[in-house]
Amino acid sequence: EVQLVESGGDLVQPGGSLRVSCSASGFMFSKYAINWVRQAPGKGLEHVSSITNDGHSTYYADSVKGRFTISRDNSKNTVYLQMSSLSAEDTAVYYCVKAGGWNYYYYSMDVWGQGTTVSVSS
Amino acid sequence: EIMLTQSPGTLSLSPGERGTLSCRASQSVSRFLAWYQQKPGQAPRLLIYGASSRTTGIPDRFSGSGSGTDFTLTISRLEPEDFAVYYCQQYGNSLPLTFGGGTKVEIK
């Protein structure tokens, strides 16, 4: 079974940092791009960051550029999202999502994790 | 950034009725358009990709159509489990990979 499991979500103070992880199983991880999509409480979906299958190319939304870093370890079938300078606007469920191919564009998001909750509050 | 506008915001229908959801893009996305279903407390799941191709396991009462800037998701006969929020998303080479604001299909 193709599966993505996020972890690391937590309550963080404004200005703090957090790293969330996504562990994959059931498919050839190194062949697929991975996306992070977030959903603020009661809101829609926002594409946050992406990384190609080999990790050589990344994307960041303007809202997180310079504060978030995406990376992957294909030997561990894991993707990471390092988040810093967090604010209340970053409060959301963060979903790890598999792309349908090696790149993050031209491929739909075909498998979603269950999400991990990041709350930023004092 | 390509904007996706979904209409209506809420669709009130009875089980067995036909549902028609619209998604309009601010510029052409060719056929790089997907539809997702999200139920309360759950992650979204992919229904349709390439504007009209159903993902494995998706019932044939779900169908997608359109190209360029205008797309439609049709649910031919609503089942109780179909009441949910539906999002369209473009995944061409214009980043970010934007989502529409969603259409909530609720029981009338």
Q: List, for residues A30-65, the tens digit of each pLDDT value.
A: 999 999 999 999 999 999 999 999 999 999 999 999
- Partner residue facing A105 (CB), from B36, B97, B101: B97
Q: How far apart are CA B21 and CA A11, in angstroms?
A: 37
> CB of B45 within 8 Å of any CB in chain A?
yes
Averaged pLDDT score across all residues of chain B: 97
* Predicted local confidence at residue B78, as pLDDT: 97
Phi, psi at B19, each rounded to 5°: -115, 135
Statement: residue B93 has pLDDT above 90: no
- Residue bearing the bigger pLDDT, B42 or B94: B42
pLDDT score for A99: 98
Q: Which of B3, B97, B103 to mutate to test the interface with A (most CBs of A within 10 A)?
A: B97
Q: How far is CA A106 from the centre of its chain?
A: 18
Q: Strand pairing partners for A18?
A: A83
What backbone torsions phi and psi does residue B64 show, to the nearest 5 degrees? -120, 150
Query: In sequence order, which ranges of A1-122 are alpha helices (DSSP H)?
Result: none
Average pLDDT over residues B75-83: 97
* Residue B76 CB coordination number (10 Å): 14
Q: Which of B32, B45, B87 lies closest to A45 in CB terms?
A: B87
A60 Cβ contact partners less than 8 Å away, ≥ 6 residues apart: A48, A49, A66, A68, A70
User: Do B31 and B51 meet the contact criterion of CB atoms below 8 Å apart?
Assistant: yes
pLDDT exceeds cutoff 90 at B20 = yes
Give the tens place of pLDDT for each residue, B44-74. Answer: 999 999 999 999 999 999 999 999 999 999 9
**CA A48, CA A70: separation in Å to the nearest integer?**
10
Mean pLDDT throughout B40-44?
97
For chain A, list residues with pLDDT below 50. none
- Average of per-residue pLDDT across B29-52: 98
Chain A positions in Cβ-Cβ contact with residue B102 (cut-off 8 Å): 44-45
Distance from CA of B2 to the nearest CA of A (A): 12
Res. B83 pLDDT band, cuts 50 70 90: very high
